[in-house]
A = this chain, B = another copy of it.
Amino acid sequence: MNTIAHELNDRLEGSTAYRLLSDFGKRFYFPKGIVAQSAEAKQKAHRFNATVGMATKGPVPMYLKGIKDLVPGIEEQEIFPYAPTPGVPELRKLWRSEMDRKNPSLKGKNTSLPLVTSGLTHGISVVSDLFLDEGDSIVVPDMFWGNYRLIFEGRNKAKILSFPFFNDEGGLHVSALKDTLESVEGDTVALILNFPNNPTGYSPTEREADQIVAVLKSLADEGKKVLCITDDAYFGLFYEKGTCTESLFARLADLHENIFAVKVDGATKEEFAWGFRIGFITYAGHGMSGDQYEALEKKTMGAIRSSISNSSKIAQSLLLRGMKEPGYLDQKQEAFSILEARYRKVRELVGRFPSDAPLQPLPFNSGYFMTFVYKGNSEKLRLHLLDKYGVGTISIQEKYLRIAYSSVEIENLEELYQTILKAAGEVL
């Protein structure tokens, strides 16, 4: 094994995070190569810096004027150079302090600084590389984002172990989660929870969140090492009272020495910047030292470096500027209100569906989506909606139909839902 990897492992030893690392995670490191030497030079090379593979003109990077002219609002230095491997420091700190604002119970708890990834997918993929070995199980609700399969199973050859997301009462099936976690053999267990959920648009109630936390704690009490990844892509879009409005990460961060929590989130949905490709990975483990967080950060930087080198500088700069604007929170609130109004309208519309309609909504209370269970073949329904009505929806497992009401104007929702109901009858 590489000597730097070995040294990082020594620093991590004894932590739950270390016990959970995959073979990839154990052997990974951040080399003392060009990037590390350039970072050192950035601090010390006050005379000439001939380290980095960029072309500069005086203190600024060279660039094509035709591009710079389109972005007059920020400096060349914010657009063209490489960003540091783990992200722009100021953005990382701001994202962490925003995390406290959004999750008051996280305040004062020990976590790593967020590391910037090229979007949430990249964040999940990096975490999967670092923590999942071939054949490992990862527990996932049976309603999940399809890319999980390609990442966990396709890329890392882990096995998705799913549990029914909803119970018969239309709530979260916490006991199924518990049973499934307990069915995993060995002394470690991994799970990923995505709230608000894609595709259903469901988030746990406060009570359900308590129950999930209790399940994980009891596993930890029994001596299991628990890796809990929270995929908080749609965080913040909570529309109902009684919904848990904090990330489970905040609850798990210092819950138990046998629990290691990983938060993957990003600007993609939270800041309405889908094409920016800016995500974050944040780690938290009860009793983890600063030195251990740093060692894990170095391993993560190795995974980032070897997959994408670093994330978009211009996107990080624009995001940072946008989040520091005085009007930032108002702008977010305005966007939230529009989505919330669409949500209320959708609730009203599906509330009017006949009780024997061939389409019945799954529980939803948050995010971008809601999902119907269809009595017929939902792929046929999707094609029919597309071909006959010019209406685009997503079919899942030939049984479910996902509607992204986030991308339809409120005044069109009634026609949309009536069309879907009508088409559902035609295809049956």
Q: Does A391 sit within 8 A of B, measured CB to CB?
A: yes
Measured CA separation A406–B408 after assembly (Å): 50
Decide: A406 and B38 in contact? CB cutoff 8 A: no
Decide: B392 and A41 in contact? CB cutoff 8 A: yes
Q: Does A204 sit within 8 A of B, measured CB to CB?
A: no
Decide: B307 and A386 in contact? CB cutoff 8 A: no
Q: Give the interface size class of chain A.
A: 35 or more
From known contacts A62-B338, A273-B67, A369-B53, infer whether A390 and B322 are also in contact, taking CB-CB under 8 Å.
Answer: no
Instruction: Point out the residue from B44, B54, B322, B408 that lies within 8 Å of A67, measured CB to CB.
Output: B322
Instruction: Point out the residue from B47, B118, B338 that lies within 8 Å of A390, measured CB to CB.
Output: B47
Measured CA separation A150–B272 after assembly (Å): 33
Q: Distance in Å from the Cβ of A225 to the closest Cβ of chain B?
A: 25
Q: Distance in Å from the Cβ of A175 to the closest Cβ of chain B?
A: 29
Q: Does A245 sit within 8 A of B, measured CB to CB?
A: no
Decide: B274 and A81 in contact? CB cutoff 8 A: yes
* Chain B positions within 8 Å of A392 at CB level: 37-38, 40-42, 44-45, 48-51
* Chain B positions within 8 Å of A394 at CB level: 34, 37-38, 51
Decide: A311 and B277 in contact? CB cutoff 8 A: yes
Stretch at the interface among A8-16, A253-261, A323-331, A356-364: A323-331
Residue of B nearest to A271 (CB): B64
Decide: B53 and A404 in contact? CB cutoff 8 A: yes
* Chain B positions within 8 Å of A141 at CB level: none
Measured CA separation A402–B53 after assembly (Å): 10
Stretch at the interface among A25-33, A90-98, A158-166, A185-193: A25-33
* Chain B positions within 8 Å of A389 at CB level: 47
* Chain B positions within 8 Å of A274 at CB level: 53-54, 61, 80-82, 313
Q: Beyond A56-B407, A122-B309: 12 further Cβ-contacts under 8 Å? A: A27-B154, A46-B390, A48-B391, A62-B272, A64-B272, A64-B322, A64-B332, A70-B73, A150-B306, A155-B307, A276-B312, A312-B314
Partner-B contacts on A (CB < 8 A): 2, 24, 27-28, 31, 33-34, 37-38, 40-42, 44-58, 61-67, 69-74, 79-83, 118-122, 125, 129, 145-147, 149-151, 154-155, 198, 269, 271-277, 302, 305-315, 318-319, 321-322, 325, 327-328, 331-332, 335, 338-339, 368-369, 382, 386-387, 389-395, 402-409, 412, 415-416, 419
